[in-house]
Chain A
Amino acid sequence: MEKQTAIKYLKRLGIAAALMLLVPALLVVLFDPFYHYHGPVFGMKAVLEERDYEVCGTLDHFEYDAVLLGDSLVENTNTAWLSDLFGVRTVKAIRAGGSNADVLWYLDRAYEGHELKKVFYCIDKAALCADTTVTFPEKDYYYLMDRNPLNDWKYLWNKDVLLKKIPLQLAYNTVLSYDEGEAYAWYRTKNFSAQAMTAFYTPAESFAEAQALPEELDKNIALLKERILAHPETEFILFYPPTSYLWWDRELREGTLSSDYEMFCRIVEAFDGLDNVKLYGFFAAEEYTQLDHYMDVVHFSLQVNYELFADMAADRYAMDQQMVDTEWEKWQQRVERFSSEEIAEYYPDAVLYQGGDR
């Protein structure tokens, strides 16, 4: 009797648990907040707030003909600008703090299901100098990228997805406003001003010897060039974004300023002249390097972000060897002047640059 009761209980428990487990899985498949299975349903807006979890799904399932590749510097870019300025429908593939190899992994993924008219590639020094190994397989969200259905349970039965992401998706589509173009944007909670951004930087007390570029730079440039040559039908818009005077001050103090010139030369050497590449450089754009445009040494305001694309659409700041040579010399003097005089306005105790070998 006891045995029969237990068997009956185990059967009922199994069925009840299976049915209950089906509910969250169905909800996740239906609303799919990370767009792992499909794009937005029921005419809902695409709510994108978790970059690392969502980029791969958007590349797989959204309709687009351009991608914006880069890091947090261009994360605030509104894709509607790109539509207006370049006439393309863009998906952002942002990899903050990542490597060039990761960004290019996204590009490869985009090409697997889409034909691209344009690729916007924000050149990041740290990413170009990073290891050339793709880091995604080590990440805990790799189950969203590996096309292995066996590990999808991490997504289907996931408390955060069920109780945070799906309700948030519904809220943004009903009671709250949401601009799809501003996917992953973070600017709203930040303060862009010289006063705020100087808190994030302390000038080093000494000036290091000149540093050489890492060998990864050439490998990363080669990886990018490989993609460009493989897709002559796509126009690649490569741009080196502006950074604040304080970033340049740091380069000077760390002994990497002269290698920056070398980096620009190698970039120009690799990409200038390729038929499907447009190359832009904002490194010496004084109008964008003022401290008031920044929240820290590198992250610029939404206005600067827009202006960059507007400049590129108007073909301003094109970068070639002649531009690098002429602009660099002036820029280097400008940076040295900042580090030897102007920086004292923000950091009265800072050790000032006295000239010498860089």
Chain B
Amino acid sequence: MYFNSAIFLFVFLPLTLAGWYLLNHFKIYRGALVFLSLASLVFYGYFKPAYLLLILGSIAVNYLVMRGLHRWEMGRRGLLAFGVLANLGLLGYFKYSDFFLQSVNMIFHTDLALLHILLPLGISFYTIQQLSCIIDAYRRQDCDPTLIEYVSYVTFFPQLIAGPIVLSEELIPQFRDTALRRFDPANFAQGLSLFILGLGKKMLIADVLGRVVDFGYEKIYWIDTASAWVVALCYILQLYFDFSGYCDMARGLGRMFNFTLPENFKQPLKAHSVKDFWARWHLTLTRFFTKYVDTPLGGSREGAVRTCVNVMIVFLVSGLWHGAAITFVIWGGLHGLGVLFDRRKHFAAKDNLFFRVATFLFLTFSLMIFRCGTVDFMCRMLRAMFIPKGARFLPELCSCLAELPEFYMVTRAAEVLMPGAVNIVYLILLGLVLLVAGIFLAGKCADQIVCSAKEKGYPMRFVLAVAFVFTCVVVSLNQVSSFLYFNF
């Protein structure tokens, strides 16, 4: 189920919280973990019950591999290799089969039939999470979880579908700390606020921007230069508010259960270089690739050339992890080159407005490729962005905002009262949407807002603001939309 659904907000979450704290109140600690795991499986199975077999199978295999790695002294490398290959095989089959077949068909001019396998939700996230577990177990750096701890960790619903990518060493010790099993109003208040603000980012900002993006990509054959840049700009903002909103919700939910999930964003669109961006964006993914891919490859310890190769490998793999299409690989490659560019000694990137704007433009451009899905779309967007073609399509692009309930009466009134100026009204609406997004982008992030309010004893204006966001979210619930990062 989605976080932004009534069934989650008004049934699943209250029942799960009540069950969790009730069992812990009576010191049934293992029972509480079992309950949490079952609730998380209900949450996951609600999307499609068949997915449960997959995640449970994956958990079973990985747990057995972990146990083997703990108990065996001989053959550990082989067992690790089996575990890694099993996880990559699972991900490869469900995520990359068609991409592989398409590539073979393209290169060898064959006509192999595609499998059209539906990508199970969250498989990219829980697969790499479990990969980290077995690698840590091989290194004997993990916390040797029991079966129920392990199941609770992998399936913990706030982070199951789209991260943040929590490591077992972060969450399992918190499961074991019985002091965290008591209801803590301070954590709950903080978590609830963060969750509501995250919901607001997703439903009130990202989804509005998403209208423009979806409309622009639907009409890609008509798109002109100005519209292409507007669509690209809306997409980077949409992606940020969507994904960071989701992570705020996940962290907020974690806090409501007294658990601390790692931070995933540090105002990434204020980065002054690509390297700086990756120190602020999807931090838990960066951490995973650093720890489990870059470091084993030698990182920056093996000389300049090897360092460059390692950086490119990490970013190409990261691109491929995000999606099974050549556009994702191109996006990863561009970011790899961007990071290498930042390593130059002369004219180093400084934290000033020029570098921030330059980095933002690079990110806008590269994420446009990320969104394209096919090379054909990418080429069309590139042509539109860089071969001047005017702005005739722009009013039509902005007109997609007219159907939003928020703007409906304004646009209907404009159509009746000043039909000649309707296009200007559409442009003003787009400007308004971008202005609101810009204000929230320039200000504090949700976490900082909540912490600041907490320090001030939750002033009344904060109470009213959170209540207002919640009210807006509730009345928007009939417009269900999916989270972008579910696709990756």
Contact = CB atoms under 8 A, between A and B. Distances in A.
Same complex: yes
Instruction: Output the residue of B186, B466, B471, B475 with the most chain A CB within 10 A.
Output: B475
Contacts of B458: 5-6, 8-9, 12
Instruction: Output the residue of B190, B413, B467, B470 with the most chain A CB within 10 A.
Output: B467
A2 B455 CA distance: 9
Interface in B428-486: 457-458, 460, 463-464, 466-468, 470-471, 474-479
A189 to B, nearest CB: 13
Contacts of B384: none
B412 A7 contact: no
Given A153-B6, A154-B478, A157-B475, A163 B467 contact: no
Interface size band for B? 20 to 34
Contact of A24 (B188, B189, B475): B475
B408 A164 contact: yes
B416 interface: yes
Given A9-B458, A13-B466, A21 B409 contact: no
A12 B463 contact: yes
Given A160-B405, A163-B408, A171-B409, A17 B188 contact: no
Given A3-B186, A160-B405, A163-B409, A10 B477 contact: no
Contact of B478 (A6, A160, A168): A160
A19 B478 CA distance: 20
Interface in B181-226: 184-186, 188-190, 192-193
Interface string A143-178: 000000000011001111011100110010000100
A5 B455 CA distance: 10
A167 B185 contact: no
B18 to A, nearest CB: 15
B412 A168 contact: yes
Interface residues of A, number: 30
B376 interface: no
Instruction: Label chain B's interface by main secondary structure.
Output: helix
B177 interface: no
A153 B460 CA distance: 28
A196 interface: no
Interface in A14-52: 16-17, 19-21, 23-24
Contacts of A7: 185, 189
B481 to A, nearest CB: 12
B197 to A, nearest CB: 12
Interface string B27-47: 000000000000000000000
A16 B467 contact: yes
Contacts of B467: 13, 16-17, 19-20
Nearest to A176: B416
Contacts of B408: 163-164, 167
A205 B196 CA distance: 59
A160 B475 CA distance: 9
B185 A6 contact: yes
A162 B192 contact: no
B188 to A, nearest CB: 7
B111 interface: no
Contacts of B468: 20
Contacts of A176: 416
B405 A6 contact: no
A17 B6 contact: no
B473 to A, nearest CB: 10
Contact of B471 (A24, A167, A171): A24
A8 B456 CA distance: 13
Interface in B137-153: none
A20 B192 contact: no
A3 B189 CA distance: 9
A159 B479 contact: yes
A151 B352 CA distance: 53
A5 B475 contact: no
Contacts of A154: 6, 478
Interface of B: 6, 184-186, 188-190, 192-193, 405-406, 408-409, 412-413, 416, 457-458, 460, 463-464, 466-468, 470-471, 474-479
Interface of A: 2-3, 5-10, 12-13, 16-17, 19-21, 23-24, 153-154, 157-160, 162-164, 167-168, 171, 176
17 contacts: A5-B457, A6-B186, A6-B190, A7-B189, A9-B189, A12-B458, A12-B463, A13-B463, A16-B463, A20-B467, A21-B471, A154-B6, A158-B475, A158-B478, A160-B405, A171-B409, A171-B413
5 smallest CB-CB distances across A and B, nearest first, come from A16-B467, A163-B405, A9-B458, A6-B185, A6-B189
